[in-house]
Amino acid sequence: MCYWRHKIEHIGLACDAPMDICMTFNNTANSLIKYDFAKRIDASECKELLHQAYESNLVQCGENVREGVNFICNCCGCCCEAMLAAKKFGNMHPVQTISFIPNIDSNTCVKCEQCIKACPIGAINKVLKDDYVVIKVDEERCLGCGVCVRNCHKNSIILLKRKEKIITPSSSVYRAVLMAIEKGQLQNLIFDNEALSSHRAMAAILSSILKLSPAKKLMTSDQLKSVYLDKLLSVKK
Ligand code: SF4
Ligand code: SF4
Ligand code: SF4
């Protein structure tokens, strides 16, 4: 069941998108089934749900890992808090994009604005270009979900590969480390108990080491002779 649409249903504001549509796998699924929050289905039923989600213009969002995916959600732009966050804080990338970006052919586009209405996160706008109105995708915010493509009756939108490569982490642990590195918070991920003075001290030391120049990092690693530190510094490059 879709958690957010279910929540919004309690205040009478849920949209018409299917409720029993989000999928979980592995241990997460076992636990939800055990406590009667989910039901077991087979692979063909999963495919049918994906098809229903596609037909309902939902954004298909999987866990951002290459192996051991624990969920595939099918999100709408009105109830789903992940999509609402992407709409509100798009530039902070609360939802990871994929490697594709829509390209609008301005020669065939008739500016019907259907794609603007369909985009779940408001990433398409009407803008003025050389005194002409054009329909433009905000590439910083766009998730590459493809919902706009299937809503353009003129077939004016195609998905192209993004110029920059998007790297999907191999596992949840790798993803957590990458996110911590991107946010400059690796030290807090490793020494996560701020109540312990030893953790606070080690987090501060590691944070300072991570800010050093490559040459100084090498000297630090040599002095400490730590295989563990070597590994961390090689990830941070
Ligand atoms: S992420 Fe979207 S589709 Fe998945 S449970 Fe939440 S609201 Fe539903
Ligand atoms: S839906 Fe297609 S034709 Fe309509 S504004 Fe968007 S790109 Fe143009
Ligand atoms: S692919 Fe289209 S619908 Fe999806 S986020 Fe980007 S602009 Fe919006």
Q: What ipTM was reported for this prediction?
A: 0.84
Q: Atom 8 in ligand 2: which residue has the minimum CA distance?
A: 109
Q: Is the dihedral of CA 127, 132, 134, 140 positive or negative?
A: negative
Q: Which ligand is nearest the CA of 22, by number?
A: 1
Q: Which of 101, 103, 111 to mutate to test the pocket of ligand 2 (most atoms within 8 A of CB)?
A: 111
pLDDT of residue 230: 63
SS3 content of the chain, % helix, strand, coil (to 5): 45, 15, 45
User: Mean pLDDT throughout 37-58?
Assistant: 93
pLDDT(83) > 80: yes
Question: In order of start, what are the domains of the chain with their CATH numbers?
Answer: 3-88 (no CATH), 97-161 (3.30.70.20), 172-236 (no CATH)
| φ/ψ of residue 172, rounded to 5 | -60, -35
Element (H, E) at 26: helix 26-34
pLDDT of residue 23: 92
For ligand 3, what atom is nearest to the CA of residue 59?
Answer: 4
Whole-angstrom CA distances from 28 to 24, 35, 46, 175 are: 6, 11, 16, 18
Confidence of residue 68 (pLDDT cuts 50, 70, 90): confident
Cβ 201 vs Cβ 190: under 8 Å:
no
187 confidence band (pLDDT: 50, 70, 90): low
pLDDT value of residue 220:
63
Kindly state the DSSP code that residue 95 receives in the 8-state scheme: S
Q: Whose CA is nearest to atom 2 of ligand 3?
A: 148
The answer, yes or no, to whether residue 229 has pLDDT greater than 60, is no
**Sole residue written with tokens 């050389």:** 130
Q: What mean pLDDT, rounded, does the chain reach?
A: 83
Nearest ligand to the CA atom of 122: 3
Site of tokens 């706009």: 148
> Mapping DSSP to helix (H, G, I), strand (E, B) and coil, where does residue 190 land?
helix
What pLDDT does residue 222 have?
A: 65
Ligand 1: which residue has its CA nearest to atom 7?
80
**Residue scoring higher pLDDT (136 or 98):** 136
Distance (angstroms) between ligand 2 centre and the Cα of 96 equals 25
For the chain, what's the residue count?
Answer: 237
% of the chain exceeding 90 in pLDDT: 39
> What pLDDT, on a 0 to 100 scale, did the predictor assign at position 221?
63
In angstroms, the CA 18 to CA 81 distance is 16
